[in-house]
Structure 1
Amino acid sequence: MKLVDLSVRRRVTIAMFTVGILLFGVVSLSRLNISLLPELSYPTLTIRTEYTGAAPAEIENLITKPIEETLGAVRNVNQIRSISRSGTSDVTLEFDWGTDMDYAGLDVREKLDAIRLPLEATRPVLLRFDPTLEPVIRYALFLDSESQEAAEFASLTSDEHSSLKYLRRFADEHIKKELEAGGGVASVKVSGGLEEEIQVLVDQQRLAHLNIPIEQLSSVLRAENINLSGGRLEEGSQHYLVRTLNQFRSVEQIDDVVISSEPGKPVYLRDVARVVQSYKEREAITRIRGQEAVEIAIYKEGDANTVAVARIVETRMQNVNKILPSELKMVKVYDQSTFINQAVDEVVKAGLIGGLLAMIVLFIFLRDVRSTLIISLSIPVSVIATFNLMYSYDITLNIMSLGGIALGIGLLVDNSIVVLENISRHRAQGKSTFMAAKEGAGEVGMAVVASTLTTVAVFFPLVFVQGIAGQLFRDQALTVTFSLLASLLVALTLIPMLASIRKDETDKTPEPVLAEPRTRVGRFLRQIRLFMFNTIPVFIVRVIAGFFRVVGKAVMFFLNPVLNSVNRLYNRVENAYPVILKSALENRVVVLGCAVIIFAGTLFMIPRLGIELIPSLAQGTYNIEFRMPPGTPLSRTDDAIQTIQLAAAADDRIDLAFSVAGSGNRMDANPDQGGENWGEMNVKLKSGYISDHEEATMADMRMALESIPGLQYKFSRPALFSFRTPVEVEISGYELDELKLVSDRIAEKMRASDRFADVKSSMEQGHPEINIYFDREKAAALGLQVHDAANRIVSKIKGDVATKYSWRDQKIDVLVRTREQDRGSVDDIRQLIINPESDKPVTLDAIAEIRSGMGPGEIRRISQQRVAVVTSNINYGDLGSAADEIGSIIGSTPMPGAVQAAISGQNEEMDSAFSSLILALLLAVFLVYLVMASQFESLIHPFVILFTIPLALIGSVWALWITGSTVSVVVFIGLILLAGIVVNNAIVLIDLINQLRDKGMDKAEAILEGAKLRLRPILMTTLTTVLGLLPLSIGFGEGAEIRAPMGITVIGGLLVSTLLTLVVIPVMYAILDRKKFSSATLPATATLPATKGDNV
């Protein structure tokens, strides 16, 4: 090959080119971002609309249905899902993967502008679901109960409310501002504690007596609390700014506002209302280890790096700690960067150990330090060169991209092994070092190119993989491809160049002839050039080579006994192999029959493995999501969570439990989370308690949860891929009663099975409602409008923020509404005066019928049809087995004619992913065949080589079964990678057999001779690949759940395929090959026994 010839002739050029790649690779590495996973862009948009006070049925008819009907025409929409809850509508659009979400968002906004919604409804808000919308860091701020200062502070404050307002104020004024100034921080959300509010509590009886509507109070307060600029005034040479300063400077000034003025009788606000400094109605209560606290959640910008943001926040926290009062304490309850760093470190460690093991294998086989180091150079050079391409393609350092590099560690030396082994063989034939490097590398050049291309080609079909699997494994496919292409370039350039450096007496390397300069200066400059660009580089290379030679001799002195034992073992294998192969060739039918039987048994084992979408990652932390019956006040939800906090505090394995009751400060568009009856607790285990203990503590926590009546709960680990539960049953129909009946039956049967945990139905709990039905005739007779009466009810019960009170840098809401005793019960609502401006006050019950009842807690719709959803986690077993049991439950459940049930959730995503991955696997095999057919210019020889793939499947399936692994998306990616790897040994073997036959050998002799010559490189490449993958396959460390199944798949398949390839492939070649080669010129040393059907 010309590239090989150039490499051995232009050694300095190749050396400088290599140094340049290494230098730029190191620079690129320093600029690569670190993240846990590749950037996952979910093609989902959520439209959230609020309509305060409306029941779920009204929300469905007035908000959800119009939005669904309008947005159904948006392009590339795959499915529309919606949830109508009290006061809130969430419509989620799921787009086809690959949709440009920026254009989709513009299209949705354009259609939303044309929708006619009730005037009282808020403007629809467009939200994007993205896992990055989870906070990257969470802190808890609380009073340090162990400090003396906290005790003194508690003694000075009148009640607990004062300390909670103090915590919230300090977090808002100091911590939030300090952290938001950090680079990469998108937002800092503070929740918990008490937000200050000034409340104007109105006596409706006094208002009615004075004929003053409650709306007038809000209008007057808004008008009185104002500062305005009056322009400029010039008086002589003096210029003045004119300002009207009338904003409230104290609460007492609000009391003194005149709200009505009759001649000589001003009515002050204090006459009809009481102004108090209080706090807003709580939306969330946060606790850490049972103690109430304030949560500070840090969200990163969309393109910011999590690890870099965490470092910046840590720096900013040093400034916070300087101003943090001694009575307060801050604890970090969650830091996403910790797990990322640990997971990435584990992958790097696995790669380094794998590379070291591969070098040990090389040394054992080669027994030469120089040759081992030459081949081993292909690992760092290829990896560092890969960093250049990763930076160009904007790939981050994550467990998938680094996992791709680690997967390729053992593969990176394969090409170099084949090249150097062939160079050594030519050197043993007495050729000079230069000619051995040139001819040896050139002879196998096309074979290593083909073997590399077959491995690279298997990743092209991944572009057809849809969904989460395609996005997740893109980085891994690219990094493996980049590293393998780099290793190919190293094998054809750097390896021959280094192998040709050693000089000997037979070396006839032509020296370049330079024209003799005519002048003395020219001769001097020529000597300088030779010294700088020839003598010095050659001297450095020889010094390094001499150093390695000395080190090699010292190492060999101590290792010779071990190496001799290994060598004797290999010699036995090498001597026995021709005998075994010859016997196999004589009994072809028996060999193929055994292979077919083993393969058939393997196919029978596949259904026993179990299937799942993606293995969950044990991170030493998990979440418990709670939901109390609809209508449960926030305080009751908090009481239930405190019970769980006590159970967590009694568990020695749990480090801390941090809980949020209520909506908290969530920024994401997940419609399932929120409301006063909702809560969440994050449980963090102590260091050293990770995988097994997570499940054990979950089981103990379930026992505590079961003791709380009416509580529904769900366990989950921090979301990485999808927020859908493993098992979901969608029951579709129209009548809510029928949907509730069927969903309750299915949920009851699922709870009866110990396979399912955390079973929850969306129709189990209704929402308590007070329904007000106006009598329009009575209202009209009294001169009242239904619309005005409804608005007045909202103003009196919910209240109206009239203005803002300025205090320091804060803007505090001034809320106007009726007193607690006027709105504390249903009877109080009946007695609400709805026309206080009239001389004849009218109570609400005079013009309306008020009923208490239970409405649906929520109404769900999928594809514009009502559904009930039963969700569940899996207690044991795999997702496929759970789906089969769900199918049996659905089949045995009687349903009304218009009701249907189907399995969805992660099972639906799994089916979609597996379908596209099977297509990708078939396309990968086809591409491998195309590459091999192009190399061999034959259709039969590639077909023979393809038999290595089913042989590899045998090893993969049995390896998964022995290790207890399930078939998942990760395993499929391993199989696709395996399809490109296992053919490499057969390619090199068949290529050598064809070369020997082309030189005149008989087919039988060529098979035996070629197999014998290729035995050592085949075993070397296999063992280096297997040992390179071994650290990835050991299920220890963070992120091992994703790494291990892929490594197990490749190792099992490669080992079994290699052993069978050495026997089965020569047999298949002997049977199927009919190609005519040149006439034999060498005496036959072996004969191939004829079998029935063999005409050669």
Structure 2
Amino acid sequence: MEINNPREPKTNALVRFAVHRPVTMSMAVVGVIVLGALSLSRLPLEFLPQFSSNNISVVALYPASSPQEIERLIVRPLEDSLGTINGIDTLSASASSGRGSVSVSFLAGTDMEMAAVDVRDRVDRVRHLLPDDIEQIQIRRFQSSDIPVINFDLSARWSRERLFEFAESVVRRRLERLEGVAQVDVRGLRTPEVQINLDPARLRAHRIDLRQLNSALRDNNVNLSAGEIREGSRKLLVRAMGEFTTPEQIRALPLGTMGLRLGDVAEVAYTFPRQDNFNFLNGIESLTVAVNKNSTANILSVVDAIKQELKSIAALDAAEGLDIRVFRDASTDVRKGLGQLRDAGLIGGLLSICAVFFFLRRIRTTLLVALAIPISVVTTFVLIYFMRAAGLSDITLNVISLAGLMLALGMLVDNSIVVIESIFRHRNELQEEAATAALRGASEVALPIIASTATTMCVFMPLIFLSTGGRFKLYLENIALMICVVIVASLVVALTVVPMVAALILRGQQARPSRFFASMSRAYGRTLDLTLRHRLIFVAAIVAMFIGSLHLLSNIERAYSSRSLEREIIVKVDTPKQYSMEQIEALYDEVYRILDGQREALDIADITHAYDRGTGRSRAGYRRARQFNIYLKDEDESSVTTLEARNRIRQLMPVKAGVSLRLASGRGHYGTTGIEIELAGDEASVLALMSRQVADRLAQLPMIRDVDTSLESGDLEVRVVVQRERTLAAGLSSRAVASTVTNALSSRAVSHFKTDDREVDLIMQYREEDRETLDQLKNVPVFGAGAPLPLGALADFTFAEGPRSIERENHQMRVKVTAQATDARASYGAMAAVESIMSELPMPPGYSWSFGRWNRYMRQDQDSGFYALLFALPLVYMVLAALFESFTQPFTIMFSVPFALIGVALVMHLTGQPWETMTIIGLIVLLGIVVNNAIVLIDHINHLRTLGYSRDEAIRLGGQHRLRPILITAITTVLGMTPMVAPFLFPQWFGPVEGRAATWAPIGLVIIGGLTTSTFLTLLIIPTIYSLIDDASQFARRVVRNA
């Protein structure tokens, strides 16, 4: 049909300004490039996005105390007080030897600043109920800056004392002076203390009461502010000084009036305490150092400065023989992300340019794409910087946002390609002048590319309404914001820079049609005519394909696991409590030799292990961990996967009676396949029985292994039961007896001693050889009204085994049963099997079970993802309805979504990819971009119909006109994501599928699969459905008119 007087098309104001004011636009582009360079240099580089948890923890350290004592004296008062705060989700508590903690988890949306004030207020209210000699109470809220940016070990063939002193006075102090360093934590470090080792025989001979001696030390070691005085016009502060300044002064402390000194009854020494915790790196005893950076510091600059400083320290004469070994470096992930972004940009950009040239066969036009890519990227950095400056966002460049930028690179040129192709068609096929072709061609597609950008952005709006935080929201927020910024930048470039440059570079180019594409267009037109003649048959075939894809999707495994970016294997070691230190050392040496012998076979980079004595005091800051940490080489340097290495190590572990060796992978949360069950109730004995029953049942499941419980038998306790009648008869109280025992045995500090550079604990207790046996304990003298009595005359002694730790949640005791799924892809099935077993287990009244917090978070993440996906569908429809001013045409476009599911089902089935958090994120991103092709197609068909073409002619011509941009944008998007998914698809070329490849590839796989099928089906089925819906609309209108 020939149209003689087509209506003069309207032009877009932004495009018109860009084409008519090329000098102004050129200066704007130069300005953006300059601002982009400045913005990129000032954007903070992080390992992970900035975040703060909804948890606030209160930690109290009380050395030389049993878990039961910690629970009674510290945990329960704090628990009762903190439990009155509003907005609490869960209240959990833990009591272990020397340490008590209460963690308050608040509901989403709680003002955490006010919550922190409430927590501090509740702690202050009960401070008088807690022991007076608590060393410190810490209130913590976990933030992203609490994750160390670098971990390294210090080892040397030196004495322990020399290593401790060097780590404290040289390494820590020099690193803390570096700009950007917030904290340096040396784990395994023992600080010196003043030990007053009492001789009980001399104390007894001189009738010295331990309680009075304790008071004498405290009362004679003071430094107090005493007020102020005025002398004339001067105000003078008064301070009472009476503290010890040297160990000699402590030895010279008078005891009584007979000239007796403390040194006569005790040995006073400034020394290191006995070592109870041992850390090793590659078989050599070491200290582990963790360094945190300030929240605003650049991770690359900080880590580089730390490494340079470590080189300077290693070059010192005093450091001869010192070995510094970095085994975890967060900047490596950031550098890899930047490198992969660079490679993806170069490879994806080059492939996109080649695809454009293949379809357009014009060098000048292709150069427009090459120009649009860097300008869009630079504009992205400018927008991000100004969003941060305006307080609209706190996004940083981190491994998550960089992954979003990698995803967006595939969509970076979509808008420009649609504009370029439209300009190209006006110039080469409609024979228009260059400036006219640029103006009309860009204006013609302005609305559809704006609509495409809007639909891509709107799919992320449900994030605002997600009530749960967690990993899903954190990841998707960063990915979504980066994608939205990139496509907005590309939209601006497509409507300004592209038409402006096109009007200039196409001016001298002779218009000539492409024979290659003309033949492709004619073939597509014939195919389209065929589908329009047999609409119902063709639609039925597509529906059958969709039903088949739903069947495939229903059979795909669902995984609740999270992927770890680290190649780390943990071997946890439990030994019988009767094991001596010699047996523990022999066991660890044997396991280490086995692992050390597998370095080359398993590509092991470093092996660290730690153990403790398992008895005696547990000093502040230590956790009694017994485990090996095996760090594998990076996947780029290895051919062994973490799973293969873990399975091999499991086979190599020695089997010994009473010894448990359990394996996990990844950092925390029981690795990537962990399952955790929490049992809650009031009686520890009932929970212990239930946990053994659950563990026995889980061990019978074929998809479960490494079953364990959190019930660890503690140390054997000697309980001194004071007999009240005997005590009162001797003129004593139970407190006096207990205080005497504490003063004789406890390692708790009675006071503090200040040196030139530090404050250390002052410890008073019997000599070690005088506190080894029960008989020695029974002979401890207790002073009353008359002659001193032995402790054995005032108390009875019983033996009992206490728990190693006590866990509580919401005022109930809690026991955990943990296990590993045999495969990450089987984790959902394993959890379903566990849930079935637990539902059949009879629970006593008042007792309950639930999956552990990490498993609950993973389930919430996936539920949030499906919720966001379902909520995004109507949002896309509403945006399309508003843009097209139609209720029916958005339905036509929305059919692209089920077409995409066909490709998603095929690619997930072929690659064995399960449903997990990352695939859901991929689906959400896919939903935003899969409708873009249909938008471009339907908008042009509507445009042609307004010009007077019949419906079928408009459909055929619209399809032919939009065939090329649809194919180019789909191909460039797929090619742009190729660098992300290639390592996942071809591990034989790229190494083990782990780390970033395993984490982000599922997103790219879903998008590539869905976009591929949707593109081809959009070109064939969308025109058919458009005609069917148009017929239905016309029929409905006739019915309404005739009604």
Superposition CA RMSD, Å: 3.5
Q: Using the TM superposition, give the Cα deviation of residue 880 of structure 1 relative to its aligned residue in structure 2, in angstroms.
A: 1.1
Letter in 2 for 1:760: D
Of 797, 801, 811, the residue aligned with 1:854 is: 801
2:496 paired residue number? 493
Are residue 457 (structure 1) and residue 458 (structure 2) matched?
yes
Residues 133-152 of structure 1: CA distance to partner in whole angstroms, max 9, x if unpaired? Answer: 343222322225xxxxxxxx
Letter in 1 for 2:536: V
Of 301, 304, 307, the residue aligned with 1:308 is: 301
Q: Secondary structure at the match of 1:1000?
A: coil
- Cα 1:716/1:415, change in 2 over 3 Å: same
Q: Using the TM superposition, give the Cα deviation of residue 503 of structure 1 relative to its aligned residue in structure 2, in angstroms.
A: 7.3
Of 134, 141, 153, the residue aligned with 1:128 is: 141
Q: Using the TM superposition, give the Cα deviation of residue 462 of structure 1 relative to its aligned residue in structure 2, in angstroms.
A: 2.1
**Where does the alignment leave 5 or more consecutive residues of structure 2 unmatched?**
1-11, 232-237, 389-393, 615-619, 985-989, 1035-1041
Does 1068-1077 or 1036-1045 show the bigger shift?
1068-1077
Letter in 2 for 1:332: V
- Cα 1:627/1:503, change in 2 over 3 Å: closer
Are residue 89 (structure 1) and residue 110 (structure 2) matched?
no
2:153 paired residue number? 140
Q: Using the TM superposition, give the Cα deviation of residue 408 of structure 1 relative to its aligned residue in structure 2, in angstroms.
A: 1.8
Q: How far apart are the structure 2 equivalents of 1:371 and 1:764?
A: 71
The number of residues matched between the two structures is: 987
Are residue 288 (structure 1) and residue 281 (structure 2) matched?
yes
Are residue 22 (structure 1) and residue 33 (structure 2) matched?
yes
2:405 paired residue number? 405
- Cα 1:462/1:578, change in 2 over 3 Å: same
Q: How far apart are the structure 1 equivalents of 2:669 and 2:474?
A: 10
Q: Secondary structure at the match of 2:782?
A: coil
2:422 paired residue number? 422
2:291 paired residue number? 298
Does the 8 Å CA contact 1:730/1:904 hold for their aligned counterparts? yes
Does 732-741 or 319-328 show the bigger shift?
319-328
Of 730, 733, 749, the residue aligned with 1:782 is: 730
Q: How far apart are the structure 1 equivalents of 2:220 and 2:312?
A: 40
- Cα 1:717/1:302, change in 2 over 3 Å: farther
Q: Using the TM superposition, give the Cα deviation of residue 1047 of structure 1 relative to its aligned residue in structure 2, in angstroms.
A: 0.4
Q: How far apart are the structure 2 equivalents of 1:481 and 1:30?
A: 21
Does the 8 Å CA contact 1:357/1:1024 hold for their aligned counterparts? yes
Residues 419-457 of structure 1: CA distance to partner in whole angstroms, max 9, x if unpaired? Answer: 222222222322221212112211221121111211122
Of 359, 367, 392, the residue aligned with 1:365 is: 359
Of 552, 558, 582, the residue aligned with 1:611 is: 558
- Once the two structures are superposed, the pairs formed by residues 891-1040 of structure 1 within 5 Å of their partners are 891-1034=839-982, 1035=984, 1036=990, 1038-1040=995-997
Does the 8 Å CA contact 1:637/1:678 hold for their aligned counterparts? no
1:100 paired residue number? 111
- Cα 1:1061/1:483, change in 2 over 3 Å: same
Q: Alignment identity in percent?
A: 32
Does the 8 Å CA contact 1:829/1:844 hold for their aligned counterparts? yes
Q: Secondary structure at the match of 1:113?
A: helix
- Cα 1:585/1:970, change in 2 over 3 Å: same
Does the 8 Å CA contact 2:337/2:403 hold for their aligned counterparts? no
2:1027 paired residue number? 1070
- Once the two structures are superposed, the pairs formed by residues 499-510 of structure 1 within 5 Å of their partners are 499-502=502-505
1:440 paired residue number? 441
1:520 paired residue number? none
2:335 paired residue number? 341
Letter in 2 for 1:696: E
Are residue 843 (structure 1) and residue 845 (structure 2) matched?
no
- Cα 1:337/1:1017, change in 2 over 3 Å: same
2:170 paired residue number? 174
Does the 8 Å CA contact 2:560/2:828 hold for their aligned counterparts? no
- Cα 1:1076/1:863, change in 2 over 3 Å: closer
Q: Using the TM superposition, give the Cα deviation of residue 889 of structure 1 relative to its aligned residue in structure 2, in angstroms.
A: 2.5
- Cα 1:183/1:88, change in 2 over 3 Å: same
Q: Using the TM superposition, give the Cα deviation of residue 688 of structure 1 relative to its aligned residue in structure 2, in angstroms.
A: 4.9
1:1049 paired residue number? 1006
Q: Using the TM superposition, give the Cα deviation of residue 1025 of structure 1 relative to its aligned residue in structure 2, in angstroms.
A: 0.7
Of 471, 477, 481, the residue aligned with 1:478 is: 481
Q: Secondary structure at the match of 2:52?
A: coil
Residues 177-233 of structure 1: CA distance to partner in whole angstroms, max 9, x if unpaired? Answer: 11111112122222436543443321223212211112444555567778999999x
Does the 8 Å CA contact 1:386/1:486 hold for their aligned counterparts? yes
Q: Secondary structure at the match of 2:605?
A: strand
Does the 8 Å CA contact 2:730/2:785 hold for their aligned counterparts? no
- Cα 1:277/1:437, change in 2 over 3 Å: closer
Of 813, 818, 833, the residue aligned with 1:871 is: 818
Q: Secondary structure at the match of 1:727?
A: strand
- Cα 1:799/1:93, change in 2 over 3 Å: closer
Q: Using the TM superposition, give the Cα deviation of residue 706 of structure 1 relative to its aligned residue in structure 2, in angstroms.
A: 5.4
Greater C-alpha radius of gyration? 1
Taking structure 2 as the reference length, what is the TM-score of the superposition?
0.88
Are residue 886 (structure 1) and residue 834 (structure 2) matched?
yes
- Cα 1:226/1:822, change in 2 over 3 Å: same
Q: Using the TM superposition, give the Cα deviation of residue 879 of structure 1 relative to its aligned residue in structure 2, in angstroms.
A: 2.4
**Where does the alignment leave 5 or more consecutive residues of structure 1 unmatched?**
145-153, 155-162, 235-240, 506-544, 554-562, 665-670, 1078-1094
Q: How far apart are the structure 2 equivalents of 1:592 and 1:248?
A: 92
1:204 paired residue number? 200
- Cα 1:654/1:197, change in 2 over 3 Å: same
Q: Secondary structure at the match of 2:861?
A: helix
Does 762-771 or 798-807 show the bigger shift?
798-807
Does the 8 Å CA contact 2:568/2:629 hold for their aligned counterparts? no
Q: How far apart are the structure 1 equivalents of 2:506 and 2:559?
A: 58
- Cα 1:194/1:764, change in 2 over 3 Å: closer
Does the 8 Å CA contact 1:621/1:685 hold for their aligned counterparts? no
Q: Using the TM superposition, give the Cα deviation of residue 582 of structure 1 relative to its aligned residue in structure 2, in angstroms.
A: 2.2
Q: Secondary structure at the match of 2:90?
A: strand
Are residue 330 (structure 1) and residue 324 (structure 2) matched?
yes
Residues 330-362 of structure 1: CA distance to partner in whole angstroms, max 9, x if unpaired? Answer: 222332222332233223322321121111111
Q: How far apart are the structure 2 equivalents of 1:647 and 1:450?
A: 62
Q: How far apart are the structure 2 equivalents of 1:832 and 1:363?
A: 93
Q: How far apart are the structure 2 equivalents of 1:222 and 1:773?
A: 28
Q: Using the TM superposition, give the Cα deviation of residue 978 of structure 1 relative to its aligned residue in structure 2, in angstroms.
A: 0.9
Does the 8 Å CA contact 2:220/2:242 hold for their aligned counterparts? no
Does 802-811 or 974-983 show the bigger shift?
802-811
Does the 8 Å CA contact 1:886/1:903 hold for their aligned counterparts? no
Q: How far apart are the structure 2 equivalents of 1:944 and 1:91?
A: 56
Are residue 727 (structure 1) and residue 675 (structure 2) matched?
yes
Does 825-834 or 407-416 show the bigger shift?
825-834
2:606 paired residue number? 656
Q: Using the TM superposition, give the Cα deviation of residue 306 of structure 1 relative to its aligned residue in structure 2, in angstroms.
A: 2.7
Letter in 2 for 1:189: D
Does the 8 Å CA contact 1:661/1:680 hold for their aligned counterparts? no
Q: How far apart are the structure 1 equivalents of 2:125 and 2:242?
A: 43
Q: How far apart are the structure 2 equivalents of 1:315 and 1:679?
A: 31
2:546 paired residue number? 599
Does 703-712 or 616-625 show the bigger shift?
703-712
2:50 paired residue number? 39
Q: Using the TM superposition, give the Cα deviation of residue 48 of structure 1 relative to its aligned residue in structure 2, in angstroms.
A: 2.0
1:187 paired residue number? 183
Q: How far apart are the structure 2 equivalents of 1:809 and 1:853?
A: 43
Are residue 117 (structure 1) and residue 123 (structure 2) matched?
no
Does 801-810 or 765-774 show the bigger shift?
801-810
